[in-house]
Amino acid sequence: MGQDKLTVGLIYGGKSGEHEVSLQTALAVSQAFDYAKYNLLPFYIDKSGKWKVGSKLSGPFTELAQLKLADDAGDTAAAMSLLFSKLATGESKIDVAFPLLHGTNGEDGTIQGLFEMADLPYVGAGVLASAVGMDKVTMKKLFADAGLAQCKYSYFTATEWERSSHALIQEIEENLGYPCFVKPANLGSSVGISKARTREELVASVALAFRYDIKVIVEEFVDAREVEVGVLGNNEPLASVPGEIVSSGEYYDYQAKYLDGKSQMLVPAQLDSELADRIGELAVKAFKAVACSGLCRADFFVLKSDQTVWINEVNTMPGFTPFSMYPLLWRETGVAYEVLLDRLIELGLERHAARQNLEFESGVN
The catalytic residues are 18, 189, 258, 297, 299, 313, 315, 319
Are 32 and 65 contacting, i.e. CB atoms less than 8 angstroms apart? no
How distant, in Å, are the alpha carbons of 112, 135, 258 from that of 348?
12, 23, 29
Q: Hey, CA dihedral for 38, 347, 268, 321, is it positive or negative?
A: positive
* φ, ψ of residue 273 in degrees (nearest 5): -60, -35
Are 264 and 272 contacting, i.e. CB atoms less than 8 angstroms apart? no
Characterise 71 by phi-psi region: left (phi > 0), alpha (psi -120 to 50), beta (else): alpha
Q: How many residues does the chain have?
A: 365
Q: How many CB atoms lie within 10 A of CB 305?
A: 8
Are 62 and 99 contacting, i.e. CB atoms less than 8 angstroms apart? no
Q: How many CB atoms lie within 10 A of CB 364?
A: 4
CA distance 329 to 312: 18
CA distance 57 to 226: 39
CA distance 133 to 139: 6
Are 11 and 100 contacting, i.e. CB atoms less than 8 angstroms apart? yes
What SS3 state is found at 170?
A: helix
Compute CA 206 distance to the chain's CA centroid, rounded to the nearest angstrom. 23
What SS3 state is found at 296?
A: strand
Instruction: For strands 38-45 and 51-53, give the pairing.
Output: antiparallel
Starting from the edge strand earliest in sequence, which strands make up the sheet with 38-45, in order? Answer: 51-53, 38-45, 6-13, 96-99
